[in-house]
Structure 1
Amino acid sequence: MPLLSSSALHLIRQLLNIVVISFAIFLLVRAVPGDVIDFYAARGDYDTQSLAAMRADLGLDDGLSTQFGLWTRAALRGDLGLSMRFGTPVADMLVHALPASLKLAGASLLVGLALGMGLAVLALAAPRSPAAAAIESLNVWSIAVPTFCTGVLGILAFSIWLGWLPIRGQMLLPVLILGLDIAGQIAKPLHEELRETARAGFIRTAHAKGLSSWRIAWRHILPNSLSVVIALAGVILGGLIGGTLTMEALFGLPGLGSLTLDAIRGRDYPVIQAAVMLLATSVVLVNVATTLLHRWADPRTARSQA
């Protein structure tokens, strides 16, 4: 019962976070000078009377509280509205952009997990290998160097100077950049947890039976240390969502990042609100799922928070 009540309270707090985020996004996008009508006015295709009629038709003359109330009621019914620039349903635009973002995020996560876990196990099973130094370097890299800067350097090196890869539309560099960042976040804490687990009594028994260091590391130590990866999953996936948007905008990939950036440039309020709300809700849901999974994998966490 304590676990259920604490989980319910955690879920309620996260739902309240979504409400606060939605209101903050609504205010912030309107705090930026100019709106979609100013975007059309700058093109010179409409006269003043037409622009005023468009502003009234889009509801931009209404008060902020009225606009927020209308948008909230429609969103709760699953209606995200129409794009102010294209007249296309916002939900359809998100559905078309989401697969590219999921593909980039999924590939990056697989590369990061494989590299981070592989280095951690290698450093444990072969202490004299360069794996420990690689872990430290990756950890510093993931903390000190933003993925955007790495992306710019990657474009300069591999697309402009060497000419090996196109600047826009390719996924190899974004996947490697995000994968290295994820590996740097995982490898060091996982390696420390592996070393701690290696001191347990059942590991000494496995050594006494003559099992190889590699088999002990992969079959016995790693499975008992995965709670660290689960605990880090919320932070990793939250950062991955932001990193995915950055890479899409930088490399011209047709995902949520490019859609959101284009909407910001055109002051397309419904698209901005829906895209950012989708991302914020994803982060909240990931945090909830990670917390529940961590409590399931390590009951001591649930008891300490009860």
Structure 2
Amino acid sequence: MRRYLPVAATVIRGAAQALGIVFLIFLLCRVVPGDVVDVLGLEGGLTADQAEAMRRELGIDKSLVDQFLDWSGGMLQGEFGRSLRYGVPVSGMLLHALPVSAMLAGGSFAIGLALALVLAVAATSTRSTVLDVAINALNIWSIAAPTFCVGFIGILVFSIWLGWLPVLGGVGMALVIIGLDNAGQLVKPLREELRECVSLPHVRTARAKGLAPMQVAVAHVLPAASPIVLALSGIVLANLVSGTITMEVLFGLPGLGSLALNAIHGRDYPVIMAAITVISVSLVVINTLVDIIARLIDPRMS
């Protein structure tokens, strides 16, 4: 029973973080000068009376407390209100954008993790200096080359100069760019962890039995490094937020990042809050799950 107390504490902490993020998002959206009525007034020339009537109709003339209670209560029921600019349900806009962001984040993470595992395990089993150089180069790439700049160069070369890929909607290029960045973040510390795990007693015993180096690396060394893999995965998934948002904007992908950016330009508060809330709470959930799994497989963390 005691083993699960830290897990419960982790869940409670994650819930508190999510609640704090939701309130902070609401507050920040409300302290920004101007609102959607101001934007529509500039676009369509609303009179002062028309602007005031529109604020009453949209409910943005209420106090901050009333607005927060209305919004959070609807959010708990899966209702994020209606877009102030387009008059459509925000939940429908989220359902349209969420698969794009999930595919981009999940696909790029899978590419990065697979590449990092292959390189790290191969370098550990073969002790190849060539692979070590490749690992160091990939790690330096992820540090020195921002994904936005790499994406811009990729569009310039492959879309404009060579004409091989479309300028907008290039999901494949975005997946590869973010995937390489993820691999660079994962592979170096993973390689170092695997190098230390090679000296563990059960690994030495497996090698003494005459098992092939690759079999030793996959069956004995890699499982011993699973806690560091989980910890690194949580960090990389958190960093995917900025990576996917920039790639969505750069490649014109209709994901949550593009949805939030367009809503910010139009002061569309329900869309802004819904998009950023989904992104932020997803990060909290992912980090909480990673922490729970790590505690369950590694009793030393409890």
- TM value normalised by structure 1: 0.92
SS of match in other structure, 1:267: coil
SS of match in other structure, 1:87: coil
Q: Match for residue 233 of structure 2?
A: 233
Structure 1 residues without counterparts, runs of 5 or longer: none
> Separation in 2 of the partners of 1:50 and 1:222?
66
Q: Match for residue 287 of structure 1?
A: 287
Assess, with a 3 A threshold, how the Cα gap between structure 1 residues 9 and 124 changes in structure 2: closer, same or farther.
Answer: same
Structure 2 residues without counterparts, runs of 5 or longer: none
Q: Deviating runs (4+, > 4 A) in structure 1?
A: none
Residues 196-275 of structure 1 mapped to structure 2, 5 A cutoff:
196-275=196-275
Larger deviation, residues 49-58 vs 259-268? 49-58
The amino acid of 1:162's aligned partner reads L
Between the two proteins, what is the percent identity of the paired residues? 49
> Separation in 2 of the partners of 1:222 and 1:206?
13
Residues 116-265 of structure 1 mapped to structure 2, 5 A cutoff:
116-265=116-265
Shift of 1:195: 0.9
The amino acid of 1:261's aligned partner reads L
> Separation in 1 of the partners of 2:207 and 2:69?
65
> Separation in 1 of the partners of 2:5 and 2:47?
60
Larger deviation, residues 45-54 vs 234-243? 45-54
> Separation in 2 of the partners of 1:23 and 1:235?
24
Residues 49-64 of structure 1 mapped to structure 2, 5 A cutoff:
49-64=49-64
Assess, with a 3 A threshold, how the Cα gap between structure 1 residues 219 and 8 changes in structure 2: closer, same or farther.
Answer: closer
Q: Match for residue 24 of structure 2?
A: 24
Larger deviation, residues 115-124 vs 154-163? 154-163
> Separation in 1 of the partners of 2:2 and 2:201?
32
SS of match in other structure, 2:179: helix
> Separation in 2 of the partners of 1:167 and 1:3?
52
What are the superposed Cα offsets for residues 255-301 of structure 1, whole Å, 9 maximum, x if unpaired? 11111111111111001111111111111111111011001111111
Q: Over aligned residues, Cα RMSD in angstroms?
A: 1.7
Larger deviation, residues 249-258 vs 146-155? 146-155
> Separation in 2 of the partners of 1:5 and 1:125?
39
> Separation in 2 of the partners of 1:33 and 1:134?
49
- TM value normalised by structure 2: 0.93
Q: Match for residue 4 of structure 2?
A: 4
What are the superposed Cα offsets for residues 66-103 of structure 1, whole Å, 9 maximum, x if unpaired? 22222122223332111111111111111121111111
Shift of 1:45: 5.4
SS of match in other structure, 1:84: coil
Larger deviation, residues 85-94 vs 214-223? 214-223
